[in-house]
Amino acid sequence: MLQNIQYFLTPFLDWQMILLVWAGVFAGIWVGAIPGLSGTMAVSLLISFTFSWELNSALALMCGVFVGAVYGGAITAILLNIPGAPAAIATGMEGYPLAQRGEAGKAIGLCTTVSLFAGMVGVAVLACAAPIIANFALKFSPRDFFLLALMGILLIGSIGGGDPVKGVMAGTIGILISMVGMDPSTGELRYTFGNINLMAGISFVTAMIGLFGISEALTQFRGGNDNPPKQNLDKIIPNLKTFLKYLPLAIRSSMLGVFIGALPGTGGDVAALLAYDQAKRTTRNPEVPFGQGAYEGIVAPETANKGAIGGAFIPMLTLGIPGDAITAIIIGGLFIHGLKPGPMLMIETPHLFWMIVGLLIIANVALFILGLLSVKPFAKIIEIPKSVIMPIVIILSVIGTYAIQNSVADIFYMIGFGVIGYFMRLYGYATGPMVLGIILGPMLDANYRRTMQAAEDQIVPFLTGFVTSPLSLMLCIFIFFMIFSQTKTYKKWRKIS
């Protein structure tokens, strides 16, 4: 025990590690804020960059970038309605209307404060219950991942806004677009039309940048005044009363984030969307309706994606299975530094586990301080006239898209998605569900087919599996509740009770 405390305190007593975490968080915030540049890309760059460093310093920098990048995605989502990362899509839906009302500072301040809380919840769960959660996460079969993806798809009702039929249509078009490319299980080409550029599929980040970034720019060019809203930056840190008001939601969402983050293959994006949905369903009488700048709609996704950071480390450190793309790269980094990530990692190198716990705590504190310090400069971005900022945003979108896989074709796709997104906005088809469809389509398709193959392509065994497995049955009940909670009967009952 004492030995573990000593390992845990190592990063707190090493000024070089503290400095590297802070530098990582700072860089991560900016990387995360730029659409197209992701934490995954930054951490993978760091692998080669820190190749000759000692392990502790390399891990310090990587943990800092990871935490900073997840937070950074919310900044451009709130200020420009262009999420820096898919995990910030829901944040932008509520944050942008707030920014338009001059409350960007307050929104980012609340986002930063709850991020610290959720980050700490994630770390606490990682430190206290990692092996239990990891073993539970391993019980998830392809059928359960299929159900999880289905739950994600049902969020269309939450993030679509407007006409639900249009939301479903946009989401399904997203699923169809996600089918483009080589089928990962059979190698069959789907919707590629002989075009070599389509064989790798269409990156959801390309689609996201186009559907949010370019379409937002085009919508802004439709007219209106060029004078941006003046931002009120007097009270950016929420007071204790405000914090306590959102605390129950923050606890729920961060725990959801930790759990979703711990599931291999799912990360902060799914967690944030699920948390946003549950906030929307469970919040009674929000001060501002959802879709118009509800603070609950910022608290839920932001606490979920920060909780997912701690969650992603759980299977990585206890089983050697990455919780998300960034932890997959960190595993690669550990191999490079001569370690063997796997079930024995925690037993053979307990110092690594406790050091990462310590590093994440430092990173979350750094995030809180650096986040609050950067609220004012960030909020100034929104005060730049759109005639100046929008051409820069378009070029930024171009670089971000090209950076994904160095493909000029991706730039054309991104612009194409932008124009489609612009038309969709004009006719009341929300762009969020389409991105959701592109993100969850492959997960839905692959896990459905795995489940069906496990049932030997027989319908009856396939269906009975959903009720005979306790985990699947529980998820089915959740899905049933998600659908039922949208009915008039349920809404009427909630109003009465």
Partner 1 sequence: MSKSEEKTDVYNIENASGEEEHGLSAYVPERYRKPGEIGFAIIATVFGVLGYYFALGMTSDSYSAPSVFPKLASVIIIACGVICIFKACRKDAPEPGSPNVFRYLFPRDVIVILLMLLAYCVLLPKLHFIVSSYLFMAGGMVYLHRGKYIWQSMLISAGAMVVLVAIFRYVFLVILP
Q: Of 405-444, which residues contact partner 1 (CB under 8 A)?
A: 406, 408, 411-412, 415, 419, 422-423, 426-429, 441, 444
Ranges within 333-352 binding partner 1 (CB under 8 A): none
- The least distance separating partner 1 from the CB of residue 340, rounded to whole angstroms, comes to 29
Query: Nearest Cα to 302, choosing from 75, 111, 86?
Result: 111
Q: Which of these ranges, 7-15, 160-168, 325-333, 372-380, lies near partner 1 under the rule CB under 8 A?
A: 160-168
Sign of the dihedral through C-alpha 253, 258, 264, 265? positive
Among 390, 436, 440, 482, binds partner 1 (CB under 8 A): 390
Q: Which of these ranges, 98-106, 127-135, 347-355, 396-404, lies near partner 1 under the rule CB under 8 A?
A: 396-404
Cβ proximity of 24 and 68 under 8 Å:
yes
248 in contact with partner 1 (CB under 8 A): no
Single-letter amino acid, residue 249: L
- The least distance separating partner 1 from the CB of residue 289, rounded to whole angstroms, comes to 4
Task: Dump strand ranges (E) for 328-397.
Answer: none
Distance CA 142, CA 126 (A): 24
Ranges within 86-115 binding partner 1 (CB under 8 A): none
DSSP of 47-101: HHHTTTS-HHHHHHHHHHHHHHHHHHHHHHHHHHS--SSGGGHHHHHHHHHHHHT
Helices then strands, counting H and E runs in the chain, come out as 24, 2
Ranges within 280-319 binding partner 1 (CB under 8 A): 280, 289-292
For partner 1, how many residues bind (rule: CB under 8 A)?
72
146 dihedral zone (left: phi>0; alpha: psi -120 to 50; beta): alpha
- The least distance separating partner 1 from the CB of residue 21, rounded to whole angstroms, comes to 19
- The least distance separating partner 1 from the CB of residue 34, rounded to whole angstroms, comes to 9
Identity of the residue, 13 or 426, whose beta carbon is nearer to partner 1 in the bound complex: 426
452 in contact with partner 1 (CB under 8 A): yes
**In this structure, what token pair is assigned to residue 211?**
């559907």
Task: Dump strand ranges (E) for 152-305.
Answer: 181-182, 189-190
In the shown chain, the binding pattern of residues 28 to 47 toward partner 1, with x for contact by CB under 8 A and - for none, equals ---x-----x---xx--x--
Identity of the residue, 12 or 221, whose beta carbon is nearer to partner 1 in the bound complex: 221
Q: Which of these ranges, 184-192, 260-268, 373-381, 464-472, lies near partner 1 under the rule CB under 8 A?
A: 184-192
Cβ proximity of 393 and 401 under 8 Å:
no
Strand, helix or coil at 463? Answer: helix
172 in contact with partner 1 (CB under 8 A): yes
Identity of the residue, 10 or 292, whose beta carbon is nearer to partner 1 in the bound complex: 292
Q: Which of these ranges, 173-181, 197-205, 339-347, 473-481, lies near partner 1 under the rule CB under 8 A?
A: 173-181
